[in-house]
Amino acid sequence: MVRAHARMNGVQASEATGKHMTRVLAVANQKGGVAKTTTVASLGAAMAEQGRRVLLVDLDPQGSLTFSLGHDPDKLAVSIHEVLLGDVEPDTALLETPEGMTLLPANIDLAGAEAMLLMRAGREYALKRALAKIGDRFDVVIVDCPPSLGVLTLNGLTAADDVIVPLQCETLAHRGVGQFLRTVDDVQQITNADLVLLGALPTLYDSRTTHSRDVILDVVDRYQLPVLAPPIPRTVRFAEASASGASVLAGRKNKGAMAYRELAAALLKHWKSGKALPTFTPEV
Ligand code: ADP
Ligand code: MG
């Protein structure tokens, strides 16, 4: 109740004053391979298509987002590592992507930042501080969190207005969800009272079998977590896209790209007018 109310006030305030508001969305799940990076790249591309100024933040030392957007993580002059440690201005690390987005890139150096940040006061706020300097140039900032609940993910959640948790609709998707929800709760209590968990996003969804549906029903049942619509279908196009250095939305039309476009449009509407996000109810 309190959180939803705070959000409405935010929406009304920005409309009343006409003041620019940047939305920061974190995509997080401590499990790897659930399509966090794919979701960040695809939602970002869909929002850029809609004319939004989009900044994507790679918070994963593996640099998969950086790589998938056509930049070689091993050849970065500066990266988010130096930015989080406060050694360089965030500006100096920004790169453009072929699809008209801006990227704050990462590479393996970031694994070191994690250890260095741990020794500092205010370590959860490093990304928030960096975004305070550059955020207002963008309409939307989307943060790709690493597969852990460590200090980097805490930075992502602390800097964010909203968080989405992608759930791969396969084998034991619910495992770890409880721990994830506790982390979100901790962040809401301690570093970011305004953080809103928008819900789970079903990914790698296969509508032809009952398995994907059962996985989602199980998670809803256990955690009463909103499930966002539309589910993102499993399609071979995603693997092809990340190998080619272009986002999944580039080139051919496909079901996955269409699902991400639909979700992107719903998010933009939600941020603009407070309209509730569509949720997904699997047919039983
Ligand atoms: P994470 O960032 O959570 O580790 P990724 O976005 O890297 O997950 O996705 C893991 C793998 O799954 C990648 O090889 C990606 O290309 C593939 N993938 C993601 N979404 C889909 C999808 N809807 N259909 C098929 N493959 C997908
Ligand atoms: Mg990833």
Tell me what pLDDT residue 209 has: 82
Check pocket membership of 239 for ligand 1, CB cut-off 6 A.
yes
Tell me what pLDDT residue 197 has: 97
> Quick check: 1 pLDDT over 70?
no
Check pocket membership of 242 for ligand 1, CB cut-off 6 A.
yes
Check pocket membership of 232 for ligand 1, CB cut-off 6 A.
yes
> Which residue's CA is the nearest one to ligand 1's atom 9?
35
Per-residue pLDDT band at 284 (split at 50, 70, 90):
low
DSSP per position, 14-75: HHHH-----EEEEE--SSSSSSHHHHHHHHHHHHHHTT--EEEEE--TT-HHHHHTT--GGG
Per-residue pLDDT band at 3 (split at 50, 70, 90):
very low
Q: Which atom of ligand 1 is nearest to the CA of 234?
A: 24
Over range 88-106, report the average pLDDT. 96
**Mean pLDDT in the chain?**
89
Q: In the numeric block, which tokens belong to residue 142? A: 């989307």
Report the DSSP beta bridge partners of residue 201. 166
Closest CA to 115 of 105, 125, 123: 123
Give the model confidence (pLDDT) of 247-276 as tens digits: 557 655 788 999 999 999 999 999 999 999
Q: What is the CB neighbour count within 10 angstroms for residue 181?
A: 15
> Quick check: 115 pLDDT over 90?
no
Q: Ligand 2 centroid to 60 CA: how many Å?
A: 7
Burial of 138 from C-beta contacts in 10 A (0-12 / 13-18 / 19+): buried
How far, in Å, CA of 198 to CA of 53, rounded? 22
Give the model confidence (pLDDT) of 10-26 as tens digits: 444 444 455 679 999 99
Give the model confidence (pLDDT) of 179-198 as tens digits: 999 999 999 999 999 999 99
Per-residue pLDDT band at 212 (split at 50, 70, 90):
confident
> What is the pairing mode between strands 95-96 and 102-104?
antiparallel
> Quick check: 4 pLDDT over 80?
no
Long-range pairs for 15-23: beta carbons < 8 A, 24 or more residues apart: 20/136, 22/131, 22/135, 22/136, 22/138, 22/139, 22/140, 22/141, 23/139, 23/140, 23/141, 23/161, 23/162, 23/271
Tell me what pLDDT residue 244 has: 61
Check pocket membership of 32 for ligand 1, CB cut-off 6 A.
yes
Q: Ligand 2 centroid to 216 CA: how many Å?
A: 21
pTM over 0.95? The answer is no
